[in-house]
Chain A
């Protein structure tokens, strides 16, 4: 179970009760939900669902009523009602879900995992949605992790994406050490070579110091720019995406992406040079030398080498919403 969901225990949810002043907001949500009668979802049950959602959202702070009311207005009430009714095991709700979302789910699985793996990916999700897993004697449907913050369709695509990406990454880490020709893979060879470097090789301390200072300045500069600009840079430099792809991901025109990337690069460089000149009091010659040092191959950059082959060391992924309870 994800850390975030762990905090949404029944006790926590019970502690989060809407005051009477939020009755109107709850009523509006209920009307927006417009759950058909045959789903057997009562208003009281839906209000509890809303309380759980709010508890999940505001688990780190005690919100005021206005914040909760504003939050309730943003919820996708109809989807939340459907998810709750399905989670409660209502056959008509489940029929509606299958009729409405099944084609979309399979299309999404095909888009994410390809034709070969789509059915397996989508079918595994169905089982978890219905709640075939049990934890502490309680059937836990995947729907319980949906709190109405997004559309249900988008949430389903997000869960599919998470499972697929994690599977890909697990596969990367378990790649064999030798390729089909029996030769060690490049990055492992590099690691071996590095370890076997002559013990008497004199470290270039001055160069290392320049690079360390430059790295620190760069990290500080990246931390100072807007998160969206940093994300744009990450898409371009870390993920090697094209301007068009970044534009689609961020909802921007390609020309806008290009312009903003250039602006972000200039901004980062300006900040780095400002740090080196103003804070470190370096001369122009020292700044030039610093960049010259960085121009060459970074020593022992195992990560860069492994990244170029798509199998780098990465932090452990968060468990997915279905398997975390195991």
Chain B
């Protein structure tokens, strides 16, 4: 018998055999739970067997599917016109966004393509290598050494003051030793920066030589008293290294200077130099180093301040816009948001009920004028579907959330304070981690 005819016979037999059974039909909640994948494995198998034997239940399930698909389509945002609908298709959007992100990261992390101009007066910030932690503050120099604001400029050699220096190593024909030191420290990769530093250092040599002559002629005498050797560091409150001991002599012995080839400057010169380099912190490697620390410190402090502000004050006053220009929400004090339908002329306060303690909201997103998602501290995720009543959404994790985007009242992505993202397509019943 030909295989084809046997197949046809099998099909006919199957059609007759898959007839309704006499088992009792499950109630609508079971069909609904099957649709929602809420049944356990045994129940799923049992009811699939019944479904395979009961056309009535299959018809009901098909109707549930139909209603579910159209309900979601109706609740979703209106799409772009069909002409440009392809642009919003995830199959185009996802790779396009990925390419943009990669390009942005590459642009941000690529090394500088050209060195800074020789006579540039812009402050130069010594950068540490990407994977290195920020340079540690300079330790207090031992008393017998020069202050760090006064570079030791040997005639032939340059000794790097400390391991904390990053990128401020001269590389010039006159300091092969410094080049070797740079290699040893592993800063060879900072070649463009090193070149610019070399130029600056040459100028400093000339300046210091001139000042040396002036000081010896005009002042003379031993150093006395204490001077703050850290020029720029004095203006950096958080990261200022301690000044050298008050009684430290800054005047090297003639023997030392002779051996090391360093400058001989007394305290007043140091003080004057301090004032001078305050105005031109970029003019010295030490100034560059301290400026680096200053910038880093400022960045850290600002970030911390922003974080404190965001969490402690709940981003109060932050506006959440909707597609309708006259409809907006505004984050208010803990446990409240404000709603306007007249473009902000008047605001109505809405309480976020059902939370103990009152939630501190940090961000929100409104895909329509009626739907708004809010996120905040301690796992707070709240949703309104009618611009009036707010319901809590179970969070993926109990943590502080700082961002949210949403497509409709089912689909949203939340961002935790540590950068992790979670998305849901069923209003929080299930969450997926987003990479």
Q: Which residues of A contact B (CB under 8 A)?
A: 2-5, 32, 34-38, 74, 76, 78, 95-96, 99-100, 103-104, 107-112, 145-147, 149-151, 153-155, 157-162, 164-166, 168-169, 214-215, 218-219, 222, 226-228, 230-231, 233-235, 237-239, 241, 245, 248-249, 265, 268-269, 272, 288, 291-292, 294-295, 298, 301, 303-304, 314-315, 317-318, 320-321
Cross-chain contact A304 with B15 (CB below 8 angstroms): yes
The interface residues of chain B lying within 8 Å CB-to-CB of A288 are 1
Which residue of chain A has its CB nearest to the CB of B12? A294
How many chain B residues sit at the interface, stated as a range, is: 35 or more
B354 in contact with A35 (CB, 8 Å)? yes
> Once the chains bind, are A107 and B67 in contact (CB under 8 Å)?
yes
Q: Mark B1-26, 1 if CB is under 8 A from A, else 0.
A: 10001111111111111111010111
The answer to the question of B114 belonging to the interface, with a C-beta cut-off of 8 Å to chain A, is: no
A33 to B419, CA, bound (A): 28
Q: A107-B67, A151-B36, A158-B60 are in contact. Are A146 and B15 (CB under 8 A)?
A: no
A99 touches B386 (CB 8 A): yes
Binding site for A on B (CB under 8 A): 1, 5-20, 22, 24-33, 35-36, 38-40, 45-46, 48-49, 51-53, 55-56, 58-71, 74-75, 353-355, 385-386, 388-389, 391-392, 394, 426, 429
B16 near A301: Cβ-Cβ < 8 Å: yes
Given A158-B32, A222-B17, 11 extra CB contacts under 8 A:
A100-B389, A104-B71, A108-B68, A111-B66, A155-B29, A161-B28, A227-B46, A227-B48, A269-B6, A304-B15, A321-B27
Complexed CA–CA distance, A268 and B13 (Å): 11
**What is the bound-complex CA distance between A161 and B5, given in angstroms?**
39
Which residues from chain B contact A4 at a C-beta distance below 8 Å?
26-27
* A27 CB, nearest partner CB in chain B, Å: 13
17 contacts between A and B (CB under 8 A): A5-B27, A32-B394, A34-B392, A99-B385, A107-B75, A112-B66, A112-B67, A157-B63, A158-B31, A222-B14, A230-B48, A230-B53, A233-B18, A238-B18, A249-B62, A268-B14, A321-B28
Which of B15, B49, B353, B426 is A227 in contact with, Cβ under 8 Å? B49
* Residues on A with beta carbons closer than 8 Å to the beta carbon of B69: 111, 248
Quote the shortest CB–CB distance from A53 to chain B (angstroms). 10
Residues of B within 8 Å of A298, CB to CB, are 12, 16
A63 to chain B, nearest CB (A): 12
Chain A residues within 8 Å of B51, by CB: 231, 234
Given known contacts A100-B385, A150-B35, A235-B58, A227 and B10 CB-to-CB distance under 8 angstroms: no
Q: Which of B29, B55, B71 contacts A111 (CB 8 A)?
A: B71
In angstroms, Cα B13 to Cα A266, docked, is: 14
Given the complex, which residues of B lie within 8 Å of A154, measured CB to CB? 32-33, 35-36, 64, 68
Given contact pairs A112-B66, A321-B27, A238 touches B55 in the complex (Cβ within 8 A): yes
A228 and B63 alpha carbons, distance in the complex (Å): 19
CA of A191 to CA of B91 in the docked complex: distance in angstroms? 56
Residues of A within 8 A of B46 (CB): 227
| Distance between Cα atoms of A4 and B39 in the complex (Å) | 16
Docked-complex contact A145 and B32, CB < 8 angstroms: no
Q: Which of A235, A245, A295 contacts B9 (CB 8 A)?
A: A295
Docked CA distance A8–B184 (Å) = 81
A151 proximity list for chain B (CB < 8 A):
32, 36, 426, 429
Most chain A beta-carbon neighbours within 10 Å: one of B1, B22, B29, B69: B29
Write the chain B residue with the least CB distance to A104. Answer: B71
Instruction: Select A161's contact among B38, B64, B75, B389, beta carbons within 8 Å.
Output: B64
Name the A residues within 8 Å of B11 (CB-CB).
237, 265
Q: How far is the CA of A291 from the CA of B8 in the complex (A)?
A: 10
Contact A303/B19 with A151-B429, A157-B64, A230-B49 known, Cβ cut-off 8 Å: yes
Nearest-neighbour CB distance to chain B for A290, whole angstroms, equals: 9
- Whether A265 and B25, one on each chain, are in contact in the complex, defined by CB atoms closer than 8 angstroms, is no
The 8 Å CB contact of A99, one of B66, B389, B394, is B389
Contacting pair B29 A146 (CB below 8 A): yes
Please, which residue of chain A has its CB at the minimum distance from the CB of B61?
A249
Closest 7 CB pairs of A and B: A150-B32, A161-B63, A158-B28, A108-B67, A111-B70, A230-B52, A227-B49
Contacts of B31 in A (CB 8 A): 158, 161-162
- B62 to chain A: closest residue by CB: A249
Given contacts A158-B60, A249-B65, contact A96 B32 (CB under 8 A): no
